[in-house]
Structure 1
Amino acid sequence: MFGFLLQRAWQACIVVVAMSVLVFCGVHAVGNPVDVLISPDATQDIRASVIAQYGFDQPLWRQYLGFVGRLIHSDFGRSFVYNMPVSELILSRLPATLELTLAAVLFASLVGVPIGMYAGYRPHSFVSRAIMALSILGFSVPTFWFGLMLIMIFAVQCGCMPAGGRGETVSLFGTEFSFLTADGLSHLVLPALNLALFKFSLMIRLARAGTRELMLSDTVKFARAAGISEFTILRRHVLRLISIPLVTVFGLEFGSTLAFAVVTETIFSWPGLGKLIIDSITSLDRPVMVAYLMLIALLFTLINLVVDLTYALLDPRLRKGRA
């Protein structure tokens, strides 16, 4: 088990280093922040002074080494637009995005998996067909349109839900959370539903496919012959056997949801990282762009590492190095 963990950790380090190179070079190839930072009427002396101040006159490799040196000390630089440390800026927005993402993925998993298992257990029933039709709708409907419809129906027509914002928050361990208050929870419902739509449909179809296949397997036949109840078979045998692909999807979808929550945060005016990165791209705020992309790359790497370790816990063959 230790060798497996060490191998995966080494691979994760290589991925992070490679991503740092790609992210830094890619961001620095797009636009010139000097054109945003300096007035067009500025003299050449002022322009040269600002370029030297931010180190834009140095070769790209030297800029990258300086970036890595600062990164080792958890220093992402200062934002050009907000004039504050990038780490503080991102940490102030990260809890809102994490809260929204976790709520969406948990809803998609905790509701989608049982529904999908029922659809696989009773594949020819009317309810199962309705569930599959719902999942197809979730794949087909664009996220922005679904979000606008949620606002139109529940905020404008019914007036029972707020249209945007985060609502009232409560500080817990120095971090602001909105789900701990009634007002904050009401603000969280609609954006979480909007963000969970695609993941909800994906979980339904994966759970249905796995359940339908396993219900025909010898494992289930032997369990039934032993007199085990159907609910116990589904809970102990089927759910455990389909858990490996579900764990993979849960991990990857959590990372992708965190990275691509931009549309939902924009529609519902959710004060998270999505809106911050859009504003940073518009203003060519390079330190914020690099820090955001590195954070997403690191999160994806960590999520994949956790998924691999979960595999090892679920499948003993991986721990013994036979698979």
Structure 2
Amino acid sequence: MLAFIIQRALQAALVMVVMSMIVFLGVYAVGNPVDIVIPPDATIAMREEVIRRLGLDLPLWKQYGIFAWNLLQGDFGRSFIYNMPVLELIGGRLPATLELVLISILFATVTGVSLGIYAGVNPESRIAKLIMGLSILGFSVPSFWVGLILILTFAVHFGIFPAGGRGETVMVFGVEWSFLTANGLSHIVLPALNLALFKMAMMIRLARAGTREAMLSDTVKFARAAGISEATILRRHVLKLISIPIITVFGLELGSTLAFAVVTETIFSWPGVGKLIIDSITVLDRPVMVAYLVLTAFVFVMINFTVDLVFALIDPRIRSGRQKS
């Protein structure tokens, strides 16, 4: 097990090094932040001073070297626009994104797996066909369109939920959370639902396919022959058999939802990291853009690393097979 962990950790480190290079070079090629940071009426001397202060006069390889060295020390640099440490800037927006993502992905997983198992156990029922039809709709409709429809329906027409913003927050362990207040919870319903629909559709189809396959397995047949109830079979056997693909999708979707909540946060004016990165792209705030993309890559790498470890704990064949290879 130790050799497996070391192997995966080295692979994760290599991926992060390569990703940091790609991100840095890609962001460097996008526009010139000096044109935005410096006012149009600035003198040549002022312009040269700002370029020198921001380190943009150095060769690209040297800029990356400074960035990588600071990154190893946990320093992501300072924002060109906000003039504050990037990590502090992102950290102030991260709780809003985290609570939105966690609520949406948990809702999507619990609801999607439950509906998918039902559709897999009763494939010919009308409810199962309705569930699968809704899952196709969840795949097909763009999230920005769904968000606008949710606002028009539940915020404008019925006036049940707010159209945007985060609402009231409460401080817990030095961090502000909105889902712990009634007003904040009402603000999070629509964006969380919008963010969860696509993930829920994916979970429904994955759970249904896994359940249909598991119900035909020898394990389930022997359990039925032994007189075990259907509820117990679903809980003890079917869930275990379909757990690996569900854990895989859960991990990947958690990372993708955290990384790509930009559209939802923009539509609902949710003050999270996604909205911050959109604003930073608009003003070419390179340190914020690079930090966001590097942190996003780090989240994906760590999630994949964790999922691999969970696989190894659930199924020893995976661990032994990878160690032999």
Unaligned runs of 5+ in 1: none
- Point out the more displaced range, 182-191 or 198-207: 182-191
1:319: Cα distance to partner?
A: 3.1
What is the distance in 1 between the residues matched to 2:195 and 2:27?
A: 27
Q: Which residue of 1 aligns with 2:275?
A: 275
1:23: Cα distance to partner?
A: 0.6
Q: Deviations over 1:50-88 (max 9, x none)?
A: 111111111101000100111122111111111111111
Q: Which residue of 1 aligns with 2:224?
A: 224
Q: Which residue of 2 aligns with 1:212?
A: 212
1:318: Cα distance to partner?
A: 2.5
TM-score, normalised on structure 1? 0.98
What is the distance in 1 between the residues matched to 2:96 and 2:26?
A: 27
Q: Which residue of 1 aligns with 2:62?
A: 62
**Code of the aligned partner of 1:145:** W
Q: Deviations over 1:34-53 (max 9, x none)?
A: 11111222222222221111
* Residues 162-241 of structure 1: pairs in structure 2 closer than 5 A: 162-241=162-241
Q: Deviations over 1:282-319 (max 9, x none)?
A: 00000100110011010000000010011011111123
What is the distance in 1 between the residues matched to 2:135 and 2:182?
A: 30
Q: Which residue of 2 aligns with 1:30?
A: 30
Which SS does the other structure have where 1:171 is aligned? strand
Q: Which residue of 2 aligns with 1:124?
A: 124
Which SS does the other structure have where 2:171 is aligned? strand
1:94: Cα distance to partner?
A: 0.5
Q: Which residue of 1 aligns with 2:107?
A: 107
- Point out the more displaced range, 214-223 or 248-257: 214-223
What is the distance in 1 between the residues matched to 2:52 and 2:158?
A: 57
1:322: Cα distance to partner?
A: 5.5
TM-score, normalised on structure 2? 0.97
Unaligned runs of 5+ in 2: none
1:273: Cα distance to partner?
A: 0.6
Percent identical pairs in the alignment equals 69
1:264: Cα distance to partner?
A: 0.4
What is the distance in 1 between the residues matched to 2:153 and 2:38?
A: 45
What is the distance in 1 between the residues matched to 2:40 and 2:160?
A: 49
Corresponding residue pairs, total: 323
**Code of the aligned partner of 2:56:** F
Q: Which residue of 1 aligns with 2:309?
A: 309
Q: Deviations over 1:161-196 (max 9, x none)?
A: 111111111111111111111111111111000000
Which SS does the other structure have where 1:78 is aligned? coil
**Code of the aligned partner of 1:108:** A
